[in-house]
Amino acid sequence: MGQRYRGIIFDIDGVLRRGGKPIPGAAETIEYLRGKRFRIVFLSNLSTRSREEYVDKLRSLGFRVDPEDLVLATSATAAYVAKHCRSGKVYLVGHAGLRRELEKAGLTIVEDPEEAEFLVAGSPFDEKGYVTEENRWKFTGAIRAILVAKARFVAVNPDKLFPGSDGKPIPGTGTFLGAIEAATGVSPIIIGKPSTHIYRIALDKLGTQPEETVMVGDQVYTDIAPAKKLGLTTVLVLSGLTSREDLEKMDPGLRATIDHVIDDVTQLPRLLEG
């Protein structure tokens, strides 16, 4: 099936790494595919870091990767807003990594929500589950951006909960969005998975058409289904959060969005060249 494909989008967690360790053979597989002239990007729903910060993490796992090879929810949001925001004025809720991506995209972060044309919402919570010092007023700021300034409301991802370092839940962007939607009655445009926006941004970066692009992910609802919706070929790996048993119990409509199933990413070259 290989000749028609020119681009590959790799989800990271569960595909290239698992529990902080690389999937054995994954880095070599990437290099092999690059040697075969496939264009490759790595995609993550991360809302807190810039590409410059995240690239070090992947390199430490043995992957050869540059910031330009990454499509994060932060950088995809910055790309989306830069395309649609005329004044360039953005009110920001979230972390320094998101701020850096917005600034790198040429946007201006305003302190006064009433000056904003866009409200960009990431998570106001830190990794221990505290509202960070710089985000303490941001619930109010976000509400005023929407209700007073009529700013357009864009969110990095809809992820409500994460496991904390103690394994218990801590809130993410989606929990903040619940507060703002309750207060204003306005729902955001979501950029990260399972929205298709982040996949459009990834295609823009690859410079490929959907029909010549493959998405490799470990979760059907968040990775596979939106990619399929855009017309990409989808490959599910079983090295992450989805097992064969899960597939058997899955809603048939959702399962139908999967084109191919492989054990892990090392089987991808054979699939593409078979």
Q: Which residues bind a copy of itself (CB under 8 A)?
A: 125, 128-131, 135-137, 139-140, 143-144, 147-148, 160-161, 164, 168-171, 174-183
Please answer whether residues 89 and 117 qualify as being in contact, where contact means their C-beta atoms are separated by less than 8 angstroms: yes
**Beta carbon nearer to a copy of itself, 51 or 193:** 193
Preceding peptide of 269 cis, ω within 30° = no
Least distance in angstroms from the C-beta of 257 to a copy of itself: 25
Q: Which of 129, 221, 219, 115 is nearest to 176 (CA)?
A: 129
**Beta carbon nearer to a copy of itself, 164 or 231:** 164
Least distance in angstroms from the C-beta of 220 to a copy of itself: 21
Task: With both helix axes pointing from N to C terminus, report the angle between 73-84 and 197-206 in degrees, rounded to the nearest 10.
Answer: 90
- Mark out the alpha helices in the chain (DSSP H runs): 26-35, 51-60, 73-84, 96-104, 138-147, 173-184, 197-206, 225-229, 244-249, 252-255, 268-273
**Beta carbon nearer to a copy of itself, 32 or 137:** 137
**Beta carbon nearer to a copy of itself, 84 or 136:** 136
Least distance in angstroms from the C-beta of 138 to a copy of itself: 9
Least distance in angstroms from the C-beta of 111 to a copy of itself: 14
**Beta carbon nearer to a copy of itself, 19 or 167:** 167
> H/E element holding 129?
none
Least distance in angstroms from the C-beta of 136 to a copy of itself: 5
